[in-house]
Amino acid sequence: MSSLTPVSKSAIPAWKWWVVVMMLLATVVNYMDRQTLGSLATFIKADFNLNEEGYGTLEAVFGYSYAVFLIIAGFMADRWNLRWLYPIALLVWSAAGFATGFVETLFQLQVCRAILGAGEAFNWPVAVGIIRRIIPRESQGFASGVFNSGMTFGAVLTPIAVLTMVGPHGEGWRRLFLIVGAAGSVWVVLWLLGTRGERAEEMSHRPEEETAAAPIIPFRQIFTLRTFWITLAVGTAVNMSWHFYRVWLPRHLVVDLKFTDQQLQYLLIAFYLTADLGSIAIGLLARRLVTPERSIERARKIVVLVAAAICLLATPVAFIPGRDVMVPLYCLVGAGIMGVFAMFYAFVQDITPGHTSKCLGLIGAFVWFINSRLHPLVGHYADTHSHAIGKFAPMILVAGVLPLLAALFALTWPEKRETAPAAAS
């Protein structure tokens, strides 16, 4: 066990938490633009004559574009002015979401999804890069959990919007895309007004003390770092788990568990709200567990194990316990997955200074290429197979086990000496 220098928790100016909250809101907009398709899947499949495999292919179009631009976004986020890169990306993906409300053909819908994926790919590399610059290391896991909870906030708001604006037979689904797509312009104005002057300067540069303590290595050397490969393994497992739930849990609830499309919206609200609470709570737990006797790395390992254990609550689906039992368990699984996500983003920020966003982009792209290939195969499997536990239940079962693999990889993260942050004045 390594010896540790006591770690004190630095005071963080209020404006930095305002930036984190703004990134949370950007992630809300991001996920609403993305998740609207899933919440309206039944109606869109009917309008464009899609089977499950066709729907999986539509998800794949988004995923392949997202994967390619994650790499581009990672390199740009480590080089460009993040204050401007963020709103430009947000305007691109919001415009694509808005345009979806006007599509008339499947090809037009696919083009909009591809552009949406290209713009949305910038959200996480830019946000994680900003956190790396402005938030002390012991609080980065919590800050990541806060901003990343925007995924689930957005996913909660989407079914509420569907219930409010879309009729029982899909009337008005195009209007929902228009409203969600237009919401991004309000965020852009608030962001540019609130990140002027010295705030913009601090967001654009790495902390001087960090650069002095750990000089930036050439990018090619990250592939020789043990921490990069650990983070790749953690990120692959947790991303695959989350996106299996994001894409296929709604189909599982409707097709296997026989909920109606209207009931589905309420269930998605419960699932994503619980997941959101898990993201924030588990991120906060990681910060609270850091003590002079317990390193940041050790605290993160404890937390990721706890979160992964929660995800195993999906395993009873193999015994067909009934939908009243499984729905609450799925909600808790969502909380566990998001907790692992918060730690994953913290690990990314610790790989090496100067290449945080590039590392996240490469890891994300790797996962999205895999997922984009798998989604049509999952849809084809569901079209051609049926099990006693349901068409989609086997995938949901596997997805619940994947975070445990992420946790096991995380346990191999090396611990190191801590340098105590300067006391806040």
Cα–Cα distance, 186 to 240 (Å, whole number): 32
Task: Enter the pTM of the model.
Answer: 0.74
With b for 16 or more beta-carbon neighbours within 10 A and e for fewer, the 263-301 pattern comes to: ebbebbbbbbbbbbbbbbbbbbbbbebbeeeebbbbbbb
* DSSP letters spanning 169-187: T-TTHHHHHHHHHHTHHHH
Going by C-alpha positions, the residue among 134, 147, 151, 126 that lies closest to residue 72 is: 126
Q: For the chain, list the domains and their CATH numbers.
A: 14-410 (1.20.1250.20)
Per-residue confidence (pLDDT) for residue 321, from 0 to 100 = 77
**Would you say 272 and 286 are in contact if contact means Cβ atoms under 8 Å apart?**
no
Q: Give me 315's structure tokens.
A: 């395993």
Per-residue confidence (pLDDT) for residue 115, from 0 to 100 = 95
- Residuewise pLDDT in 10s, the chain (425 residues): 333 444 455 678 889 999 999 999 999 989 888 878 877 888 888 888 888 888 888 888 998 999 999 999 989 988 888 889 999 999 999 999 999 989 999 999 999 999 999 999 999 899 988 988 888 877 887 888 788 788 878 878 888 888 888 877 777 788 888 888 888 888 999 999 888 877 777 776 555 444 455 567 888 899 999 999 999 999 999 999 998 898 889 888 988 888 988 888 889 889 988 988 887 888 788 888 988 888 888 999 999 999 999 999 988 888 877 888 899 999 999 999 988 988 898 898 888 877 888 888 899 899 888 888 888 888 888 888 777 778 888 888 889 999 999 999 999 999 865 444 443 33
Cα–Cα distance, 90 to 94 (Å, whole number): 6
Per-residue confidence (pLDDT) for residue 304, from 0 to 100 = 93
Cα–Cα distance, 42 to 48 (Å, whole number): 10
